[in-house]
Amino acid sequence: MTIKKDIGDVQVMKWIVPCFGLIIPNLSGLFGDLSWRDWQYWVGYLYFIAAAFAIWWGNRFIYLRQRDYYDWFSRPFMRILTMLFGLIFYTAPFTLTMCFLWYWSQGLPVDQNVVVTTELINVIAVIFITNIYETTFLLKDWEDERLRAANLEKLKATAELEALKNQVDPHFMFNSLNTLSHFITEDPKKAKLFLEHLADMYRYILKSKDVELVRLEEEQRFLQSYLSLMQMRFGEALDMQWTNEPAHGQWFIPPISLQILLENAMKHNEFSANKPLIVNINFGTDTLRVENPRSKKSIASQNSLAVGLKNLDERFRLITGRAIEISDQEELFSVTLPLVKIN
């Protein structure tokens, strides 16, 4: 196992470890009466820098090994205990051996106070550096966990979106087959024409089934096809108007969104040739507002309205990150859909 690639401890090896090898002998008094004019002084620096590298590599190995056995989030107490035990009981004996070898090589008597001071400094330095490693790893583990949670949330959102799509298609199929059944009985020629238009529409549905967004003009053409089919049945009792049509090619929308709103308007309002249902679609800054006058049917029919709009709202939240806006007034009902702009 290596951490260089993950946290860049090459810089620790290049700069921090040699600094400890230079500072600790002077700080603890290991050099005694030696001055920079003595050759032993410079040899001592090389010796203690090498010793610092040995302490660092040994503690690094111990730290990485215990990371493999004890996870910080599941077993924090054992993690801290084994880390401190391993680091201290490696650093202290190694420092003691290093000091005795230094005094022996110089032919000097061992100064126990200096040895104890050196051990304390080394242990504190090791704990300090280990804390840097641990903090870096914790931040990295936290970031990895955050990314993993985000990926799981995305997978969950994708699954939910597919479930919502599967709720939309059967609903539309059911209504279409009811209309087709009516035409087959009343007017076979219209039934054939209706079936041809229906086939064109389902080609669009199949084409857009696996995509999250479609161009707004494609959705407009699909909506117009659906309106034409419905007008074959209801005649002048149903119409649709566009206000402030947007520029083509820039705006995108989740597929089959507008058809759902037109279908809901038809399903939950009374309309006839004498009192037609006119659905107005108005383009705003980055939204589409679909509105229709209220002519409510029974309360029972209104219950399913909430379900359809809830599904549509969830689709928009999952795909665009924005919710739809519903305005339910006494004489006017409207739904505002957020659009996605892609240049």
Provide the H-helix boundaries in the chain: 4-7, 10-11, 17-28, 39-69, 76-106, 112-186, 188-208, 216-234, 257-267, 299-320
The answer to whether residue 175 is domain-embedded is no
- Both 277 and 209 in one domain: the answer is yes
Question: Which pLDDT does position 226 carry in this prediction?
Answer: 87
239 lies in a domain?
yes
Domain span holding position 259:
187-341
What gap in Å lies between CA 292 and CA 269, rounded to an integer?
9
What is residue 300's predicted lDDT score, i.e. its pLDDT? 45
121 and 201 in a common domain = no
User: What is the spatial distance between Cα 127 and Cα 134, in angstroms, rounded to a whole number?
Assistant: 10
**256 part of a folded domain:** yes
Give the count of beta carbons closer than 10 Å to the beta carbon of residue 272. Answer: 13
My answer on whether 143 and 286 are in the same domain is no
- C-alpha distances (whole Å) from 25 to each of 32, 50, 265 are 9, 12, 85
Q: How many domains does the chain have?
A: 2
Are both 132 and 195 inside the same structural domain? no
Q: What is the pLDDT of residue 232?
A: 84
Q: Do 222 and 142 sit in the same domain of this protein?
A: no
- The answer on 309 and 210 residing in a single domain is yes
Question: What does the pLDDT read at residue 339?
Answer: 94
330 plus 214 within the same structural domain: yes
Cα 155 to Cα 153: distance, rounded to the nearest angstrom: 5
Based on the domain organization, do 35 and 141 belong to the same domain? Answer: yes
- Give the domain CATH number at 241: 3.30.565.10
**Token pair of 41, please?**
């002084």
Instruction: Tell me, yes or no, whether 14 and 112 share the same domain.
Output: yes
Terminal Cα distance for the chain, rounded: 46
Q: What is the pLDDT of residues 291-300, one digit of tens each?
A: 999 887 765 4
> What distance in Å separates the CA atoms of residue 314 and residue 160, rounded to the nearest whole number?
9
Report if residue 57 sits inside a domain. yes
What's the residue count for the chain? Answer: 343
In a domain, 171, yes or no: no
Average pLDDT per run of 10 along the chain, which is 343 residues long? Answer: 48 72 76 71 82 84 77 72 78 86 82 85 83 80 81 64 58 75 84 85 82 90 88 87 78 90 88 90 91 75 66 86 91 94 81
